């Protein structure tokens, strides 16, 4: 299952470990703007916090790292 862009965070998602764009950028050694572009183009699914901040499921990030 993928998480749609701007999908609200459900209680089950809140229990999962979510990463910030900065954390993901460090893992890939790229700029956080690159991570935002990946989310916008569907390369990496993202969710939005109630405050509108982008977060990434750790499982999705690991899957992309393993590609």
- pLDDT above 80: residue 1: no
pLDDT score of 16: 74
Mapped onto helix, strand or coil, the DSSP state of residue 7 is: coil
Query: Against a cut of 0.95, is the pTM above it?
Result: no
Tokens standing for residue 60:
């999705």
Q: Domains for the chain: give ranges and CATH numbers.
A: 12-66 (1.10.1660.10)
Question: Do residues 66 and 59 touch, judged by C-beta distance below 8 A?
Answer: no
Q: Give whole-number Cα distances, 56 to 3, 28, 37, in Å.
A: 9, 13, 13
- Convert 44-67 to b/e letters by CB count within 10 Å (16 or more is b): bbbbbeeeeebbbbeebbeebeee
pLDDT 10s digits, 11-57: 555 567 999 999 999 999 999 999 999 999 999 999 999 999 999 99
């Amino acid at each position: 299952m993928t998480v749609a862009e701007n999908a609200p965070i459900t209680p089950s998602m809140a229990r999962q470990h979510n990463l910030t764009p900065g954390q993901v950028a460090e893992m890939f050694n790229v700029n956080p703007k690159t991570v935002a572009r990946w989310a916008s183009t569907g390369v990496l699914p993202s969710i939005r916090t109630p405050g509108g901040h982008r977060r990434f499921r750790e499982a999705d990030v690991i899957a992309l790292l393993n590609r």
